[in-house]
Structure 1
Amino acid sequence: MSPPALRLCQICTQTASKYKCPSCLAPYCSLACFKKHKETPCAKPESTEERPTVVQELPIERELNVDDPSLVLEQKQLEAIASSCEIREALKDENLQELIYNIDCSLDALNELEKYMGVEAFCMFTDKVLSNINL
């Protein structure tokens, strides 16, 4: 298997991108570039493949506050998740994608998360994530 092609940050055009905008999938390299990118509205590119029509609500904008900073993942933990073949394979499951989307878009994400912890596929996925970040 050949290594993935490096893409440059579309914002600064100086550094290899590590991330993609969740809305339009534009590659960016840092939080500063992401903030600059978000100064102008963007949208997800239209897919060329036929998919069933699903009515989806817009993601809920909510302030990210963390009571306990020790609960925030470190960069190496995020990289471990992103580079895990096991997690990437699990995320190909459309049902799992829908569960994660529902949690992310919920007005009460914590309650939605608790609800899905009873779903075996989601529970197995969270176990994979936790094992990759050594918790």
Structure 2
Amino acid sequence: MLDTETPCAKPEPTEEKPIFPESPVERPLNVDEPSQVLQKEQLESIASSSEIRDALQDESLQKLILGIDSSSNPEIELDKAMEVEAFRTFTDKILASISP
């Protein structure tokens, strides 16, 4: 039996929140050695790696990276993340991607 008393209503679209905040923590970029800065080719190698892109689908890894990026002291957060096996595996994939 159909309910003819209730009009059809267009469902309101739900807005998905982005995983990453829109305004990251502002901090200066300090590099002790120019050799620590990745070259364009190295960044392209990382971006084109299907292994790295697949790893980035992991929500727990996304949260670790977000925690490092949004921290006022990212070096401490990076040290904590290195204790997590999935993050170490991820960083190994990045290093393999940029090393000849």
TM superposition score category, shorter chain reference: 0.7 to 0.9
Structure with the bigger percentage of helix:
2
Tell whether 2:75 aligns with 1:110: yes
Normalized against structure 1, the TM-score is what?
0.58
Partner of residue 93, structure 2: 128
- Following superposition, the deviation at residue 57 of structure 1 comes to 9.3
Amino acid at match of 2:71: S
- Following superposition, the deviation at residue 73 of structure 1 comes to 0.3
- Following superposition, the deviation at residue 59 of structure 1 comes to 1.9
* Bigger-Rg structure (1/2): 2
- Following superposition, the deviation at residue 50 of structure 1 comes to 6.5
Count of residues in Structure 1 that have an aligned counterpart in Structure 2 = 86
- Following superposition, the deviation at residue 70 of structure 1 comes to 0.4
Give 1:84's match in structure 2, choosing from 24, 49, 59: 49
Partner of residue 99, structure 1: 64
**Which structure carries more relative contact order (alpha carbon 8 Å, separation 6+)?**
2
Distance across 1 between alignment mates of 2:75 and 2:14: 33
User: Superposition RMSD on alpha carbons, in Å?
Assistant: 2.3
Distance across 2 between alignment mates of 1:102 and 1:93: 14
Normalized against structure 2, the TM-score is what?
0.77
Amino acid at match of 2:90: F
- Structure 2: tracts of 5 or more residues without a match: 1-12
- Structure 1: tracts of 5 or more residues without a match: 1-47
TM-aligned CA distance change 1:57 to 1:80, over 3 Å: closer
Q: 1:69-89: per-residue Cα shift (whole Å, max 9, x none)?
A: 000001110000000000000
Distance across 1 between alignment mates of 2:15 and 2:54: 22
